Amino acid sequence: MIYDPKYENKLRESGLRPTKQRIKICEVLFNSTETFHFTIKDLVKIIENQANIKVSLATVYNTVHAFNKKGYLKEIPINSSQSYYDTNISHHHHFFDEDENKLIDIDQNDVDEVMIKKTIPGKKIKSIEVIAKIVTDN
Amino acid sequence: MIYDPKYENKLRESGLRPTKQRIKICEVLFNSTETFHFTIKDLVKIIENQANIKVSLATVYNTVHAFNKKGYLKEIPINSSQSYYDTNISHHHHFFDEDENKLIDIDQNDVDEVMIKKTIPGKKIKSIEVIAKIVTDN
DNA sequence: AAATACATTAAAATCATTCTAATCTGTTGA
DNA sequence: TCAACAGATTAGAATGATTTTAATGTATTT
Ligand SMILES: [Mn+2]
Ligand SMILES: [Mn+2]
Ligand SMILES: [Zn+2]
Ligand SMILES: [Zn+2]
């Protein structure tokens, strides 16, 4: 089997071997020009729809976790029973539509850079996320 | 039984009757001058420690949900299997210490107001939260 | 090709949260 | 005051996302 070297690199750099299940996950996550937000359940559904190949839940979790740890995916902090991930790893922020339970990107340009004056001794800031909850206006 | 009218009001305004279990929960949540962050598990532990009275998990969830809905508590968006709540309902933001799994307040004064230029038709912003993840610096 | 290390999988375990349904208590109005 | 009712409490069951297990399969190394 010939692997798209882009995916092979992403996988190896994430500490994973390029297997056909993982290549399939990569195709779903990284093939499109548009980035998107997803839950594990969403991802499994997409794979099943496109699927000639079966991927177990355990493999999906394991692969998404490795990509998240490596920084090829970003987990978005949301109050939900499910984790939400983003294939857009550039610095940006989010609306969370509470009616639809959907994330919407806010460009970095659409928010002034968040400057935090307070510091915690011995700690460094790893990430800053802005989450704006939105609801139907009426 | 004589209720502290402060708690009786909070409860009634949240649509709940003032029972001794709920008064106890109020004492833990609202008695101290210091605000604090907690998970349901934390809260149950505090109640058990101070406890002459037994409160079921179902009642704790039910009461916390009612206070959150009414705005007497705030749920903080965090990637965690547990929900984190805040007794500080004033507008402020948070560090999340990933080593300790603890929230730390950031005063409104310590962050410039977050202005979002983007709008979504038919939707209004309900809340804006800034979460800065911090880790040991070395 | 054989040996090894790592991956896949179905199924079980875990654990926070929600639900159920039996029992109990605060509230109200006769 | 006190019966009747609405709502509250509770233990335990159910749910559902996530993690773990352990048997089997596959990529990689030698
Ligand atoms: Mn997670
Ligand atoms: Mn919740
Ligand atoms: Zn995004
Ligand atoms: Zn706080």
For residue range A70-129, what is the model confidence (pLDDT) as tens digits? Answer: 999 999 999 999 999 999 999 999 999 999 999 999 999 999 889 999 999 999 999 999
In a domain, B15, yes or no: yes
In a domain, B81, yes or no: no
Look up the domain containing A106 and give its range: 91-134
A9 shares a domain with A69: yes
The structure's pTM equals 0.92
In a domain, A126, yes or no: yes
In a domain, B82, yes or no: no
> Which A positions 88-117 lie with beta carbon below 8 A of chain B?
93, 95-98, 104, 106-107, 109-112, 114-117
Inter-chain residue contact A106 with B129, CB threshold 8 Å: no
Inter-chain residue contact A130 with B129, CB threshold 8 Å: yes
B63 shares a domain with B18: yes
In a domain, A81, yes or no: no
**B44-64 per-position pLDDT tens digit:** 999 999 878 889 999 999 999
Q: How many independent structural domains does chain B possess?
A: 2
DSSP secondary structure of B69-99: HHTSSEEEP-SSSS-EEES--SS-EEEEETT
In a domain, A116, yes or no: yes
Cβ(A48)–Cβ(A57) below 8 Å: no
**A45-54 per-position pLDDT tens digit:** 999 998 788 8
A96 shares a domain with A42: no
Out of A29, A50, A76, pick the residue that ends a domain: A76
Out of A76, A111, A126, pick the residue that ends a domain: A76
Is the confidence at residue A2, as pLDDT, over 50?
A: no
pLDDT at B32: 85
Is the confidence at residue A4, as pLDDT, over 90?
A: no
